[in-house]
Amino acid sequence: MNTDLIVDQLPYVAPFLFVDTVERIDDMGVEGNFTFRKELDFYRGHFKDNPVTPGVILTECCAQIGLVCLGIFLLNGSKGTPNLKIGLSSSQMEYYKPVMPGEKVKVVSKKIYYRFHKLKCDVRMYDSKESLVCKGILAGMLKRDVDE
C-alpha cells in the first residue's frame, strides 16, 4: 500500500496539517511522523519567550495520524475516500513531556474497535529519543457520502 496516498487524502492543509509521513499502516493500526517546525505560528504566543507545543496541537497530531489516517485506510484503502466526513467524538489524553519547536515526533496508534462508523484507538506519541510524550484514547466518527 502506498502510504503517500493516505496522506494525500487527508482533509487538512498547512498550517493545520500535522502529518509528514505514514510509515506503517494495516487493519490494526498506524505509525506516522510529524516535525513541529520552528516557524509554526502558534509558537509566537505559546509561551512568551519560551515556546512549547500546545497540548491541543499534540492531541490533533495524534488524531490526524492515529484516527484519520487509519480511518481512511479502513474505509477504502488506496481507492480513495471521496467526500470524507470526520468528527472527533472523544479524547482522553495524558501529557508527560513538552515538545519543543523543531522536534520530530512519532505517533503509534492501535485500533481498539471500528464499528458503526466509529473508530476508537489507543494512541501514543514519542519524541526523537523514543521517550513517551503523551498517550491516550481517541475516538471519532468517519464516513463517506456513499455510506449514507
Instruction: Give the Cα separation of 85 and 121 in Å (integer).
Output: 18
Say which residues have a Cβ less than 8 Å from residue 83's Cβ, sequence separation at least 6.
Answer: 144, 145, 146
Instruction: Give the Cα separation of 82 and 3 in Å (integer).
Output: 17
Predicted TM-score of the model (pTM): 0.93
Q: Give me the amino acid identity at 148.
A: E
pLDDT band per the 50, 70, 90 thresholds, residue 143: confident
Residue 4 pLDDT: 87
Return the CA Rg of the chain.
15
Per-residue pLDDT tens over the stretch 10-40 = 999 999 999 999 999 999 999 999 999 999 9
Residue 98 pLDDT: 97
The domains of the chain, with CATH numbers, are: 3-147 (3.10.129.10)
| Cα-Cα end-to-end distance for the chain | 27
Whether the CA torsion 64, 103, 93, 24 is positive or negative: it is positive
Among this protein's residues, is 117 annotated catalytic?
Answer: no
Per-residue pLDDT tens over the stretch 69-123 = 999 999 875 455 567 889 999 999 999 999 999 999 999 999 999 999 999 999 9
- Res 148 pLDDT > 60: no
Set 5, 20, 23, 46: catalytic member: 46
CB atoms within 10 A of CB 86: 21
